[in-house]
Chains A and B, each alone.
Chain A
Amino acid sequence: MSYFYIFLLFIFIACAACERTKEKIYINIDEGKRSPCFRRFNGTHQIGCSSAPKGNVGVVHYVNSESDLNWLIDTGPHKPYSVLLNPADFNMAVVKHLLDSGKVNGIMVIQVEGHDDEFAPAISFSPDKACPNDASSMYKNSTDYGSCSKVDWNPVGESLMFQDLGIPIFVFTNYDDVKTTLIEKCYKQFNEPDATGSPRDYPLCAVELKDRMDGAVDSETCIRRTNHQMNLKPSRYCDPMGDRNVHGSLKPVMKNETRKDNSVILVVARMDSFSMFDNHYPSADNHVSGIVALLAISEAIGRIKENITKSDNTKDILFVFFQGEAFDYIGSGRMVEDMIRNQFPSSEGSQYLKQINLDHISHIIEVNQLAFRDNGKVWIHTDPISRSKLPQVDDMVESLKNIGEQLFDESEQDLPLPPASAQSFLKKKSIPTVVVTEHKKQYVNKYYNSRLDLAAEIKVSCDNKTSIDCYNEVSDQAKNLSEVADSIAKFVYKLATGNNASKDLYVDPNTVHHLLYCYLISPQCELFNQSLKSDRAKQLDSKPYPFYVGVDSQVNNYTALTYQMLVRYLGDKVENYTQSQCDKSDGMYKMEWMQGPYDMKHVNRTGFCIKALVNLSLAESYAFELENYDFKSGEFATWTESSWAIDAMNVRIFLIPSKNLEITTLVVGIVILVLSLVGGYIMNKGASKVFESSTPDSSMAPVAL
């Protein structure tokens, strides 16, 4: 008892909160301070990371220079190792080198904000392919344009995301964890080879990276395993990826009316990106710049929409934000298929509206990445195959160049379309299409679809400003984007009406800046607050939400917020409606209550009800709905994400003892056990003799003890 307390006491010395010996053995890295790479599947492969069921234990080795890396691969005697990499060193070549050596069973990547001088930052990094979305490209079977034969859109893309790495990889975001714990306490104190390069002796500092994925093989296999459960406690192995598209139009066309062919202009943008690491989806250039530009266009056109809705001769404009586009066009693929089946829009409330199919679409305008400018211009891309058959494309390009004057220019005509949602439409039907984006040929963005596509890279950051100043001071990027959006809005208006836009049609840089702030710096911003009900506004986070499409369990935060903004920009106020009336209404219009701006005294908000022809539609692949779909056919996106248990992720740092000490302990233990067994036997035999004299009544019978 007494020394039972002493052991407790041992523990109290180091830190008063600790309770067990475990706390003295392990240093845990908390969940918020590390992000795992996880596993995904498509119809034929598994990609990403996973660890052994109980985690991979490796000796920590910090690679700060080329020689550290060579030492590990040539000398390092204590395999397996877990390698700590600077941001600059995490790339395909190094990862491959490490994996091929067979000495590495885990990788840790440093990503600490504001310490670029200490941990060399990556100059360029994209885990996506050099030819993004290659497998679902409209040029897949084309000999002239297939596999990016004309140009690699994403030349820095090394396809690291699409490797089946088979080891756990974590990103570490806390400076103290990296600098103090991992480098100082762990690596330098126990593991760092001495000046002559000879390795250190045990005990060595090791890390356990646990990142256990439940799914395996490919989408088809893990979906089948999920569906065929034989036990009473079914478990999931993977879930289809998907979410919702946001779409909104101006003209209500009722079920009983006819919708004219070529009467709808599609203005679209992509909403998602990806990166290798969970919760690291900053997506600043790709595609927040596009989302914000499209919202700004919708606001500008929404303001003067009477010009379009009042007349029968104008075209309707359908604004669409696609989800899941980074994964083989999940969202646009779904919408096209819905249109072909005459099921779009299919969501509730749309039973009043006439369906839209591909024949109704007259033009497609897509806005892609827009935050940078290649040669100071914004570039128009067209599809060379359909362009020869469609004279309207030339008109569109000319018109846009006229409106944009010095700003817009056309890319080379024989270049194919860059990866874009419009490709899903063009695969099925030739529709006049332009894609407006920042790059003439290759991407200007050096961090396409990666964890490094940060707001600071496109010069949207608060630095030392207060949040109010930061929210109100229009940034240069906002001015840049509003210029672009302004021209596109006028161009779309001209396409829809045939007339040049009046002065009333303009994009407000303030709106653009507010949107950039809300999407990239903090959703807890005034604009989002105004555009939501009070209870939902209270739930807004102060950190940006992920732009990753994720599994289709609930509507993504940004999808819901984009929907809300589109309602606000395209809709009309319904006068004299209370919040409860607004919430209850149903019909072809979506009605949303918004708590509105503050009054003059900055105390109360005056809310309003807005009705709009805006809705969500499914962005889920048909591959998971059709019976007997051939997952290897490549017709629809087949992406799924592996599921993992609640305790599947863990990172802890500790010492591993020398083999000598371990063996000594065991041998001493066995010797003592054997000695005591022998001793016990002998003592038991001899006891009656030894202690005989003290026994009061000694019987002669030999007895125990």
Chain B
Amino acid sequence: MTLMEFFGCTFIAFGPPFGLFVFTIARDPLRVIVLITSCFFWLLALLLSSILWSAVVPLKQHLAFGLVFSVLFQELFRFLFYKMLRKADEGLHKVSQQGQDQHVTPKDISNKHIMAYVSGLGFGIISGAFSLVNVLADMVGPGTIGIKGDSKYFFLASAFLTLCFVLLHTFWGIIFFNAFDKKRYVYVAVVVASHMLVSCLTLLNQKHNSQNYLGSIIPAYIVLVIMAGLAFYHAGGSIKNVKAACVFNRSNRYDTN
């Protein structure tokens, strides 16, 4: 039974997004709505990519083609979602003011980064689900991969790559939205370029002889770290604040005690 592999990979890929969802999204109806809507927008991007892929018959075998356009469609729909969210600001504001729930504060609306983060996570979760669920479903049987000469790390690599993309989408969301808000379009280019870069890196995995997938995973995680730093910085974080938060937390604990 490879049930252990199944759960291991599920936890690896969806553990972190699950943690984020539980503590930052789930208690807040407005955030849940925005999360689901952003998922929907990603699905629309998938739909368009699929139509294009199946329409252009001669290039069906060349995945690089489908991949490039898929990245472009995703970024396009990220932009459309950004536009929609900004248009909906006023409506959301009203909704949150009428709400009785204490968690729904105007801060969600006023702090642009929150919605950027939520929509980025939405993109990440749904793309992660779509890339890994097929693999997970086939993993439950008695066998593992390898009889046809494939690497035994296929499942592990898939899970880590999926995790990487979930988090990347989250950070891209923050950077992308902030770039439009602040009109610093160079960061839009950074997001699109890094997305394209990481996606194209995964093309390395198709090399038949690549017995491990480190060639694509390590660069992907380096980009992830860079994007995390950028997003942190854009959202107004700094090392000083982190230190302050630690101190605050500690003092807070003493207070409650």
Interface residues of A (CB under 8 A from B): 1-10, 12-14, 16, 20-22, 24-27, 57, 185-186, 203, 205-206, 208, 652-657, 661-670, 672-681, 683-687, 689-697, 699, 701, 703-705
Query: Bound state CA distance, A694 and B63, in angstroms?
Result: 42
Contacts A6-B202, A665-B156; is A672 near B148 (CB within 8 Å)?
no
Select from chain A the residue with minimum beta-carbon distance to B14: A673
Q: Is the CB of A25 within 8 A of B147?
A: yes
CB-CB under 8 A from A652, the residues of chain B are: 143
Q: Is the CB of B142 within 8 A of A6?
A: no
Select from chain B the residue with minimum beta-carbon distance to A20: B138
CB-CB under 8 A from B146, the residues of chain A are: 203, 655, 657
CB-CB under 8 A from A675, the residues of chain B are: 15
Select from chain B the residue with minimum beta-carbon distance to A697: B110
Q: Is the CB of A685 within 8 A of B203?
A: no
B208 within 8 A of A: yes
Query: Bound state CA distance, A13 and B134, in angstroms?
Result: 17
Say how far B13's CB is from chain A's closest CB, in angstroms: 9
Interchain Cβ contacts under 8 Å between A and B, 23 examples: A3-B161, A3-B165, A5-B70, A6-B202, A6-B203, A7-B158, A21-B134, A26-B147, A206-B142, A654-B142, A655-B147, A657-B152, A662-B8, A665-B156, A672-B11, A673-B18, A686-B249, A689-B245, A690-B245, A691-B235, A691-B241, A696-B111, A705-B117
Apart from A2-B195, A203-B144, A674-B15, what are 10 other A-B pairs with CB-CB below 8 Å? A6-B202, A8-B63, A10-B150, A657-B146, A673-B18, A686-B245, A686-B246, A695-B236, A703-B103, A704-B28
Taken residue by residue from 1 to 37, chain B's Cβ proximity to chain A (1 for < 8 Å, 0 otherwise) reads as 0101101111110011011101110011000000000
CB-CB under 8 A from A3, the residues of chain B are: 131, 161-162, 165, 199, 202
CB-CB under 8 A from A13, the residues of chain B are: 206, 208
Interface residues of B (CB under 8 A from A): 2, 4-5, 7-12, 15-16, 18-20, 22-24, 27-28, 42, 45-46, 49, 53, 61, 63, 66-67, 70-71, 73-74, 103, 105, 107, 110-111, 113-114, 117, 127, 130-131, 134-135, 138-139, 141-148, 150, 152, 154-156, 158-159, 161-163, 165, 195, 199, 202-203, 205-206, 208, 235-238, 241-242, 244-246, 248-249
Q: Is the CB of A690 within 8 A of B241?
A: yes
Contacts A676-B19, A686-B249, A695-B236; is A203 near B158 (CB within 8 Å)?
no
Say how far B141's CB is from chain A's closest CB, in angstroms: 7
Query: Bound state CA distance, A24 and B74, in angstroms?
Result: 29
CB-CB under 8 A from A673, the residues of chain B are: 11, 15, 18-19
Say how far A484's CB is from chain B's closest CB, in angstroms: 54
Q: Is the CB of A701 within 8 A of B105?
A: yes
CB-CB under 8 A from B159, the residues of chain A are: 669
CB-CB under 8 A from A657, the residues of chain B are: 2, 5, 144, 146, 152
Query: Bound state CA distance, A6 and B148, in angstroms?
Result: 18
CB-CB under 8 A from A694, the residues of chain B are: 111, 113, 235-237
Q: Is the CB of A690 within 8 A of B49?
A: no
Query: Bound state CA distance, A599 and B155, in angstroms?
Result: 68
Query: Bound state CA distance, A27 and B141, in angstroms?
Result: 13
| A-B pairs, 5 with minimum CB distance | A694-B236, A654-B143, A669-B11, A665-B8, A680-B19
Q: Which of A22, A186, A704 has the most CB of B within 10 A?
A: A704
Q: Is the CB of A4 within 8 A of B127?
A: yes
Q: Is the CB of A5 within 8 A of B4?
A: no
CB-CB under 8 A from B46, the residues of chain A are: 1, 4
Contacts A693-B238, A703-B105; is A25 near B8 (CB within 8 Å)?
no
Query: Bound state CA distance, A654 and B1, in angstroms?
Result: 12
Say how far B145's CB is from chain A's closest CB, in angstroms: 5
Give the secondary structure class of B's interface. Answer: helix
From the candidates B5, B141, B246, name the one contacting A666 in the complex (CB within 8 A): B5
Q: Is the CB of B23 within 8 A of A680?
A: yes
CB-CB under 8 A from B24, the residues of chain A are: 680, 683-684, 687, 704-705
Q: Is the CB of B236 within 8 A of A22?
A: no
Select from chain B the residue with minimum beta-carbon distance to A694: B236
Say how far B57's CB is from chain A's closest CB, in angstroms: 14
Q: Is the CB of B107 within 8 A of A27?
A: no
CB-CB under 8 A from B199, the residues of chain A are: 2-3, 6
Query: Bound state CA distance, A12 and B61, in angstroms?
Result: 8
Q: Is the CB of B143 within 8 A of A26?
A: yes
Q: Which of B103, B107, B113, B139 has the most CB of A within 10 A?
A: B107
CB-CB under 8 A from A678, the residues of chain B are: 19
Contacts A1-B42, A657-B5, A704-B103; is A690 near B242 (CB within 8 Å)?
yes
CB-CB under 8 A from A2, the residues of chain B are: 67, 70-71, 74, 195, 199, 202
Query: Bound state CA distance, A654 and B145, in angstroms?
Result: 8
Say how far B126's CB is from chain A's closest CB, in angstroms: 9
CB-CB under 8 A from A21, the residues of chain B are: 134-135, 138-139, 145
CB-CB under 8 A from B165, the residues of chain A are: 3
From the candidates B42, B144, B241, name the one contacting A655 in the complex (CB within 8 A): B144
Q: Is the CB of A653 within 8 A of B147?
A: yes
Select from chain A the residue with minimum beta-carbon distance to B204: A6
Query: Bound state CA distance, A679 and B24, in angstroms?
Result: 11
CB-CB under 8 A from A684, the residues of chain B are: 23-24
Contacts A673-B15, A694-B236; is A22 near B138 (CB within 8 Å)?
yes
Query: Bound state CA distance, A3 and B107, in angstroms?
Result: 35
Query: Bound state CA distance, A99 and B237, in angstroms?
Result: 68
Query: Bound state CA distance, A2 and B50, in angstroms?
Result: 11
Query: Bound state CA distance, A680 and B167, in angstroms?
Result: 13
Say how far A248's CB is from chain B's closest CB, in angstroms: 55
CB-CB under 8 A from A701, the residues of chain B are: 105
Q: Is the CB of B143 within 8 A of A656?
A: yes
Query: Bound state CA distance, A288 and B248, in angstroms?
Result: 95
Say how far A309's CB is from chain B's closest CB, in angstroms: 68
Select from chain B the residue with minimum beta-carbon distance to A659: B4
Q: Is the CB of A5 within 8 A of B63?
A: yes
Say how far B33's CB is from chain A's closest CB, in angstroms: 15
Contacts A8-B63, A656-B142, A705-B24; is A27 near B71 (CB within 8 Å)?
no
Query: Bound state CA distance, A424 and B131, in angstroms?
Result: 68
Contacts A14-B148, A694-B236; is A668 near B8 (CB within 8 Å)?
yes
Q: Which of B105, B141, B159, B161 has the most CB of A within 10 A?
A: B141
Q: Is the CB of A691 within 8 A of B19?
A: no
Query: Bound state CA distance, A657 and B5, in angstroms?
Result: 9
Query: Bound state CA distance, A8 and B49, in angstroms?
Result: 14
CB-CB under 8 A from A4, the residues of chain B are: 46, 127, 130-131
Contacts A13-B208, A185-B147, A696-B110; is A679 near B19 (CB within 8 Å)?
yes
Say how far B235's CB is from chain A's closest CB, in angstroms: 5
Q: Is the CB of A1 within 8 A of B70?
A: yes
Say how far A181's CB is from chain B's closest CB, in angstroms: 9
From the candidates B12, B45, B141, name the one contacting A668 in the complex (CB within 8 A): B12
